[in-house]
Amino acid sequence: MSRGSRTLHQLIYASRVRVPWPDQQREVDGIVQASIRNNRVVDVTGLLLVHDGWFVQALEGPVEAVLGVYGRICDDGRHEDCRVLYAGPAEARSFEDWNMCARHMTPADEAILDTLSMKTVFEPHRLTAKQALRLLKAVRGVQQSTQLRALG
Ligand SMILES: Cc1cc2nc3c(=O)[nH]c(=O)nc-3n(C[C@H](O)[C@H](O)[C@H](O)COP(=O)(O)O)c2cc1C
């Protein structure tokens, strides 16, 4: 069945890193590897933002697949306080290029936080659904331009 022929579901949540990891990059790389492997099979795409002890992640795809993946993520002891910021239909995929892609905030990305008045204290649990999607789409834009620069 081709993408888009079923109702598209999107879920955005925020959670806290449970314990500070000695090697955060390695841990996140492991999460992304597992995510790409699993999400590809069930046609889920998304983006994972890691910043200041928080995760913000978007998952999109068929509803049963998104809920299945999210259920597994919630059971993962590496984070806690999962709070859904948005769950519902979406007209189109926002992160179709990635079965999962993780990005740590860089100073360039932090300009995005300015627009959400979160530069001093990052509190993603307070984001509205619209703000959360805006944040992740802005991060997507930076990630895509980084990839283009790497290619060119
Ligand atoms: C913040 C966070 C995001 C995650 N995102 C995904 C995801 O999108 N897809 C996925 O399959 N696993 C994700 N995981 C990992 C799952 O919790 C779980 O470890 C993994 O799905 C197990 O896969 P495996 O049985 O193939 O090793 C995430 C974990 C964390 C902590």
Domain-wise residue ranges, the chain: 8-151
Q: Please list the rounded mean pLDDT of every run of 10 residues in the chain (152 residues).
A: 68 92 87 97 97 95 98 96 97 96 82 79 92 92 79 64
Kindly state the percentage of the chain with pLDDT values over 70. 95
CA of 117 to the centre of ligand 1 (A): 30
95 lines ligand 1 (CB under 6 A): no
Which residue has a Cα nearest atom 10 of ligand 1?
35
35 lines ligand 1 (CB under 6 A): yes
Q: Which long-range contacts (CB under 8 A, 24 or more apart) does 96-99 make?
A: 96/3, 96/45, 97/45, 97/144, 98/45, 98/46, 98/47, 99/35, 99/36, 99/39, 99/40, 99/44, 99/45, 99/46
CATH topology of domain 8-151: Alpha-Beta Plaits (3.30.70)
User: Mutate which of 15, 33, 35 to test ligand 1's pocket (most atoms within 8 Å of Cβ)?
Assistant: 35
**pTM for the model:** 0.92
User: What φ, ψ does residue 25 adopt, rounded to 5°?
Assistant: -60, -40
